[in-house]
Chain A
């Protein structure tokens, strides 16, 4: 115990100072303001944590600074919104998506195939380019002609803004099912499959991976499953759409969260295995790549969903009003699903300020259990220290890399869809949260999991307290002056906290000493 105290004096003093600051902040405002500010802080902290923890897991194991993490958070939000507000669009997308992915599911098979075929040296050099080029051409020709029922960014009456508004008021715009007119269905399906296989083959040749000693039959199974999904969603497109639109908004929201998270994970796996992997030996290129991906991601979102901000309706479970609302106790809330609840006279929004922190805590604990209690977690913890040794034990570290990247991006995407009903959707939502996350990690310790949580909560709290004090003002002691922090102070305050903590503890609060 004594040695613990001595070793961590600085940390303990810092934590005590933060606590004192916190108590001082609490003294300066009314109880109801304090409750709301605290919960808002925790809410922002939770969202920050979802981004920060994924980023930190990826950096810890893979040494990749994924600068696109904020953009992936945003993409998660937009994907979730699509499922929630336009299930028909989502269903239409399933078939082409499954086909596009199918080729990549074959993974290891390509290097094996490449060694079977004997080709000349010049062909060997041209082939990957030719394959990828053909694939891009095919995609470029088919995808614009593939019929997908979708909103129209250019027309306000059919824009995401309008659809969101309609969904919120409970009416859905009549949507015409899209039909194959510009291209015949079989041609489109087979073309996409072919393009995917060619593209994946080409990329595999670029990577020039070592050949596996034996063929992994599981790859063929996932390939077959994807083909089956493509076929089934193609055949049952209309009935699936009808089933989804018929669901209550609560279930639809659950599905939206799942789809957004899984799409994030899938996107992460795809990015790692195709783009990041060839660049492990060139970290600077990797950095530029993720930065580029971030910019491209934002442009893609602008192209598809448009620039204007829009809101995502809350599921009915958190959206009740009238009658006894705002609820004063849990039973009332449960019976009426009020959107707000009174806590110590403070009017608390249930979704934003209670539901999001709860999810944050659940994720915190689940990932902690994953890291501490499962074999995957053990491999991750070991791999953070010594990848080569893990590999030499017979463990496929590269696959673990892909899984961790998928997990990290999945967490960001989960954060995005959770944030959508409270923050709204905008092209910039990822950047501000990513900045939060980076500051949180600097405060908590870059690759320390509990540190990510602590840092995120601190960042969330300090921001919300400054915002609140911006409204009510701080009475400066012994004077009549009331100081009101202005909005620009919000980001500045977190940066200031980071600078101070890094000056005292260069590795962050819980970071390991190098």
Chain B
């Protein structure tokens, strides 16, 4: 299978802190790959390093066959990467509709994708004129994902979509992500192992800034020792 994203041994510094100390992530086209690991392991930083918000100081990020590390974030994103950050980062001073429109990369993106987005998240439809602040946590998460769907993206980086959401909404979110995976590749950071194991085909475990184990999710589910050791779950 073809590799859409290949992260090779990246080292990332935040200030003087050496946060990532060798992370490798290989993402096959058309799959969902989960980044797993404890709190503070470096999962978010890995996503941010891919999109260039915390550019890696060493190593390579190869996206669709081209090295993109060191380029500016907007340049990397414009190549077709959608970023759904940890705390949703909905723009408060913008309406829900504007939160979607701002993500247009080509004029008309929003109109082209509107129906698709409403099919996926029917709730958003009646919220369009509200300000970003008026949304509940679940609605904000939907909006954050929807925002990444407005432009033509081939790769979605989604950081903890289930964080702080009620079980019903998590299920809804999972269905949406599964649907999205049909057309695009997804890198998913997920603390909830149950959610991650149901969604993802592949996984990479990050531990103290290093990728320590990777493979098929099916194998990990049976590898109780690894789960216990790296994720602390049963």
Contacts and interface: CB of A to CB of B under 8 A. Distances in A.
Contact of A391 (B66, B77, B93): B77
Interface string A368-380: 0000000100110
B74 A379 contact: no
B77 A212 contact: no
Given A212-B75, A378-B101, A391-B73, A386 B53 contact: no
B91 A392 contact: no
A401 to B, nearest CB: 12
- For chain A, the bracket of interface size reads 20 to 34
Contact of B74 (A378, A381, A382, A395): A395
B147 A213 contact: no
A210 interface: yes
Given A210-B55, A378-B98, A389-B85, A394 B91 contact: no
A391 B103 contact: no
A382 B147 CA distance: 13
A211 B102 contact: no
B91 A391 contact: no
A9 B137 CA distance: 29
Interface residues of B, number: 31
Contacts, number: 77
B179 interface: no
A213 B89 contact: no
B85 A392 contact: yes
A30 interface: no
Interface string A384-422: 111011111111111000000000000000000000000
Contact of A394 (B68, B70, B92, B105): B105
Given A389-B85, A393-B102, A382 B91 contact: yes
B85 A212 contact: no
Majority secondary structure, B binding face:
loop
Interface string B88-122: 01011110001001111100000000000000000
Nearest to B83: A392
Nearest to A381: B93
Most buried by B among A385, A389, A397: A389
Contacts of A212: 71-72, 75
Given A390-B102, A391-B74, A382 B83 contact: no
B94 A381 contact: yes
Most buried by A among B55, B66, B94: B94
Contacts of A394: 74, 77-78, 103, 105, 151
A379 B102 CA distance: 7
Interface in B47-95: 51-53, 55, 66, 68, 70-79, 83, 85, 89, 91-94
A396 B74 contact: yes
Interface string A178-210: 000000000000000000000000000000001
B72 A210 contact: yes
Interface of A: 210-213, 375, 378-379, 381-382, 384-386, 388-398
13 contacts: A210-B71, A211-B71, A213-B76, A375-B101, A382-B91, A385-B93, A391-B72, A391-B73, A392-B73, A392-B83, A393-B151, A394-B74, A394-B78
Interface of B: 51-53, 55, 66, 68, 70-79, 83, 85, 89, 91-94, 98, 101-105, 147, 151
Given A210-B52, A210-B55, A213-B71, 9 more contacts: A375-B102, A375-B104, A381-B91, A381-B93, A382-B94, A388-B89, A389-B91, A394-B77, A395-B74
